[in-house]
Amino acid sequence: MLFGRHRKNPVHIADKQVTDWTYATCGYCSTGCAIELGKNASGEVVASRGVGGADVNRGKLCLKGMYGHELFNSPGRGETPLMRQHIGQDFKPASWNTALNHMAGEINRIQQDFGDDAFAIVSTGQLLTEEFYTLGKLARGLIGTNNYDGNTTLCMASAVSGYKRSFGSDGPPGCYEDFEHTDCLLAWGSNLPEQHPIIYWRLKEALEKRGFPLIVIDPRVTMLAQFADIHLPIRPGTDVVLQNAMMHVIFEEQLEDSDYIEANTTGLEALKEEVANYDPASAYKICGIDEDTIRHVARLYANAPAAMNIWTMGINQSTHGSDGVVGLNNLSLITGNIGKPGGTSLSITGQCNAMGTREWSSCSGLPGYRQLENDQHREEIGKFWNVDPEFFPKKRGLCQTDIFPAIETGQIKGLWLVATNPLTSMPNTPRIRKTLEKLEFLVVQDAYADMESNQYAHLFLPAAIWAEKEGTFTNTERRVNVVRQVTPPKAKSKSDLHIFNELATLLDPNKQVTFPDNAAGVFEEMRTLSEGRLMDLSGMDHDLIESSRGIQWPYTARQRDAGEMPLPGGKRLYTVATNFCHSDKRAKLIPLPFIDNNEKPDAQFPLWLNTGRLVEHFHTRTRTGKVGNNNKFSPIPFMEINPDAAAELGIRHQEYVRCLSRRGDAVVMAMLTQRVPRNMVFIPFHYFDCVNRLTLGLLDPHSRQPAFKQSAVRIEPIEDQASAARQSKALRTY
Ligand SMILES: Nc1nc2c(c(=O)[nH]1)N[C@H]1C(S)=C(S)[C@@H](COP(=O)(O)OP(=O)(O)OC[C@H]3O[C@@H](n4cnc5c(=O)[nH]c(N)nc54)[C@H](O)[C@@H]3O)O[C@H]1N2
Ligand SMILES: Nc1nc2c(c(=O)[nH]1)N[C@H]1C(S)=C(S)[C@@H](COP(=O)(O)OP(=O)(O)OC[C@H]3O[C@@H](n4cnc5c(=O)[nH]c(N)nc54)[C@H](O)[C@@H]3O)O[C@H]1N2
Ligand code: SF4
Ligand SMILES: [Mo]
């Protein structure tokens, strides 16, 4: 008798009759996998495959990239511009001409009546870099509002702020290859196997070739924690205390790299003074990690010839997000672990082009990591764009998380959302709903007409998606990679670049400021502006990027002209002593006093609410909710709850329960699992009117990023399971 796989039918790989393949870069997460999309003889996009020669993914894709080709014809796509006078009325289709003229008219009206900053723009990390650059030129050069930001405030703002405070500039200094050289890896609040599966695969391959300790700091037993040598289930929001305690041990036992500190940093004495307060025994009382473990991990880390820190949202999305990043930079600096193979402080970014927006969108400044606060930078960009530098504000305006309260107070009257869905993704959505209701004019520019924020739009602009367009993304390791157009925009949708350019023509009929009409032309401008900057990409162009399967910045025109191979490109930043970006060329060691300011469980709301992601879904599910092979794994909003806590509450596996916080309530299915401790529940944020009805989202003082991962809730059983099931289903718009 045959058992196991011998009894199964052999696997047949369906022949999709692909006649040609087009090169692209995956448009979901920031890993940056090179992907090819296959078309059949009738021109339908029918297949996706990983690109073998690409250094990032070496032929692999995760289950989001694998079904990438199903996006183009997925349900809910926007097909034509839509307009209405009042929210609640039905939308009416409009021509592009009418839609954009109306938009230009409303921007002018609002700015004339209430001032330039009364019209706000919130964008994303999911456009192509050339589109970000163009939106920045439009926003800063023509519209002139200073209330212009991106959803990166929900995502990478703390990493940006922490890098700037420590090193004088944004820019992750490491790369994936560092896994192959490191002797110790600390992963803070980052669940690679689910959120960056191909980065995880790179890590796993390195671990298999050459073992080194993998230490995971996460209050939840994530998939990465299950594979770790040591898991530190930290008390939510207290990473800074653990970092300070580790530094306390390192200094106490003289494990620091004094030569490196002396040559490259300032601020040692103040740092030592602060961390002296954090002996591991006292730190344990705050962060929940015992003294012996803190000492053990500190020694492992500091004694390793090369050691690295990686982190994602467990650090960034906290009231101490920016401090947590600085803390990791401090640890790296005092042990000499920056700019060397295997020694780095690497922020794992989020969206496919979270980096592109940081570099080029002008959200927080001006293109190429230039600053509004810097006279010379304003001059340079004003001259290049043919805009009076005095037209630029002299400091950054409101962040996304401050734009919404400014709508509440009536300071902002009009809002343009580009590729972001705050009605599902912002904390405290009952409040966001009321805020959106107050707007005189809301434009939603999105690939999907059924995304929830569109419920409050006066104007909807249907955008082409991903490989219906052409341009570049930058990934976590600063690798610029290209997306080629595989199929034309669906129905009457238009590329974001086209929409920005058309609006520019309406707002500037005399063409004082010029806007190239194709991505390669825009890239030319970026090349020129990048010359001599940290993110120099003057040696790149779209063709070279494709043939190299992605190039890391910096890659200069000089390198290209000298015949230097683009691969491996600029693997690491800060490799030469004293080349940091502060004016004295040194990195700053910054003391981090800890202030315990989170919402915490109490008698009324006794459980921590932790939130995050699942491998099969992406964010607010406008895309993965429509792809059968992604959606089938988690079609229903659910909550991880510890079996002991569930028993106490009389809740059984797969029962619907009500979860309540001070902001609102949500109905979710209970999933009993030891993955969360007894005093915590975890709810993925992919579902509409679900976990963000509960989150508080206190802001980090430096980055203005919300603490999505620390709120307090209580759970109530539901008698009538059938009606709860109906209620939960009714909320699922897709
Ligand atoms: N499949 C999939 N992949 C994605 C995305 C997606 O939606 N779906 N989104 C992309 C984007 S934009 C982003 S930003 C990344 C996010 O990637 P990750 O940050 O890896 O994902 P999250 O699940 O948000 O959070 C990671 C972990 O932070 C932990 N955490 C919570 N509180 C704390 C704390 O106080 N300290 C520490 N140390 N850890 C804590 C949580 O338990 C959780 O396991 O993923 C990207 N990749
Ligand atoms: N509770 C909780 N909330 C969170 C988080 C968390 O961990 N917990 N994480 C936060 C983080 S890190 C992030 S990044 C945010 C993400 O929050 P959002 O940005 O709101 O999430 P998305 O669903 O990615 O929204 C992107 C939108 O862009 C559209 N789109 C895709 N491609 C294109 C395109 O080419 N052009 C245009 N015009 N539109 C396009 C999609 O249809 C979608 O509506 O959520 C945040 N919210
Ligand atoms: S790991 Fe990220 S970039 Fe790679 S295929 Fe998956 S979603 Fe796409
Ligand atoms: Mo993100």
pLDDT, tens only, 46-105: 999 999 999 999 999 999 999 999 999 999 999 999 999 999 999 999 999 999 999 999
Confidence band (pLDDT; 50, 70, 90) for 4?
A: low
Q: Does a cis peptide bond (omega within 30 degrees of 0) precede residue 554?
A: yes
The pLDDT of residue 589 is 98
The pLDDT of residue 341 is 97
The pLDDT of residue 730 is 75
Residue 198 beta carbon below 6 angstroms from any ligand 3 atom:
yes
Catalogue the E-assigned strands of 111-240.
119-123, 148-150, 184-188, 214-217, 230-232
pLDDT of 356-383, one tens digit each? 999 999 999 999 999 999 999 999 999 9
Residue 65 beta carbon below 6 angstroms from any ligand 3 atom:
yes
Task: Give, in order, the Cα–Cα distances in Å from 415 to each of 69, 148, 624.
Answer: 32, 10, 26
pLDDT of 630-672, one tens digit each? 999 999 999 999 999 999 999 999 999 999 999 999 999 999 9
Task: Give, in order, the Cα–Cα distances in Å from 475 to each of 129, 254, 356.
Answer: 11, 37, 8
pLDDT of 213-233, one tens digit each? 999 999 999 999 999 999 999
The pLDDT of residue 114 is 98
CA 683 to ligand 3 centroid distance, Å: 22
Confidence band (pLDDT; 50, 70, 90) for 9?
A: low
The pLDDT of residue 732 is 72
Contacts of 11 (CB under 8 A, 6+ apart): none
Confidence band (pLDDT; 50, 70, 90) for 570?
A: confident
Rounded CA separation 133/501 (Å): 12
Residue 126 beta carbon below 6 angstroms from any ligand 2 atom:
yes
- Asked if the model's pLDDT at residue 11 lies above 70, the reply is no
Q: Which two tokens stand for residue 57?
A: 């993914």
Residue 692 beta carbon below 6 angstroms from any ligand 2 atom:
yes
Q: Which two tokens stand for residue 424?
A: 């599902």
pLDDT of 699-731, one tens digit each? 999 999 999 999 999 999 999 999 998 888 777
- Asked if the model's pLDDT at residue 13 lies above 80, the reply is no
Question: What average pLDDT score do residues 301-319 get?
Answer: 98
Cβ-contact 37, 68 below 8 angstroms? yes
- Asked if the model's pLDDT at residue 468 lies above 90, the reply is yes
Q: What number of other Cβ atoms are within 10 A of residue 628's Cβ?
A: 10
For a mutational test of ligand 1's pocket, the pick from 200, 709, 710, i.e. the residue with the most ligand atoms closer than 8 A to its C-beta, is: 709
Q: Whose CA is nearest to atom 17 of ligand 1?
A: 195
Q: Which atom of ligand 2 is nearest to the CA of 683?
A: 1
Closest among 145, 71, 23 to 544, alpha carbons compared: 23
Confidence band (pLDDT; 50, 70, 90) for 6?
A: low
In this prediction, what percent of the chain has a pLDDT beyond 90? 95
Q: Is the pTM higher than 0.75? A: yes
Q: Which atom of ligand 2 is nearest to the CA of 156?
A: 12
- In the chain, the domains with their CATH numbers are 18-73 (3.30.200.210), 82-153+361-465+489-518 (3.40.50.740), 157-347 (3.40.228.10), 607-729 (2.40.40.20)
In this prediction, what percent of the chain has a pLDDT beyond 70? 98
Q: What number of other Cβ atoms are within 10 A of residue 295's Cβ?
A: 17
For a mutational test of ligand 2's pocket, the pick from 26, 446, 494, i.e. the residue with the most ligand atoms closer than 8 A to its C-beta, is: 446
Rounded CA separation 308/310 (Å): 7
Cβ-contact 656, 718 below 8 angstroms? yes
Question: What average pLDDT score do residues 394-418 get?
Answer: 98
The pLDDT of residue 726 is 87
Cβ-contact 661, 630 below 8 angstroms? no
- Mean of all residue pLDDT scores within the chain: 96
